[in-house]
Amino acid sequence: MRAESQGFLVKAERALRAGQILLREADAESAVGRAYYAMLHTAQALLREKDLRYRKHSGVHSPFGEHFVKTGNMDPKFHRWILAAFNNRLKGDYDFDAAIDSETAALTLEHAGEFLREAKHYLQTATPPESAD
């Protein structure tokens, strides 16, 4: 696994742990945001393994779907989950009356954890990229 991919997985794990702490502290809006970032970093880890780099959130979402979901390498639910988490993060961060409850946050954190576990498994078992000699 590439060092960059590993680094994004570490960031994803950190975001997931932070989200769990925030949920325990009854901050569902912030917990959803951390869950989203755990998913974003997970998707970035997968894309970096293919030497793909993107700066914008949408620049990660679409290529993840193209290179991992449409190819059958990852379950389509992960693409749906990252998009839903992104929308909830936007609501939580920018709407003053966002109604993100603890159940939504807990489910989003659960999804982020599942996505992270599946991505790690994929990256550990996938054929390494060919090196240029």
Kindly list the structural domains of the chain, giving each domain's residue range(s) and its CATH number in brackets, ordered by start. Answer: 3-125 (1.20.120.330)
**With contact defined as beta carbons under 8 Å apart, do 8 and 120 qualify?**
no
Pull the structure tokens for residue 124.
């550990």
Using the 8-state DSSP alphabet, how is residue 52 labeled?
-
pLDDT for res 100: 87
Closest by alpha carbon to 81, among 104, 115, 47?
Answer: 115
* 131 pLDDT more than 60: no
Q: What is the pLDDT of residue 129?
A: 52
Integer angstrom CA distances of residue 47 from 24, 42, 77, 100, 125 = 31, 9, 17, 29, 15
Say whether pLDDT at 130 is over 70: no
Residue length of the chain? 133
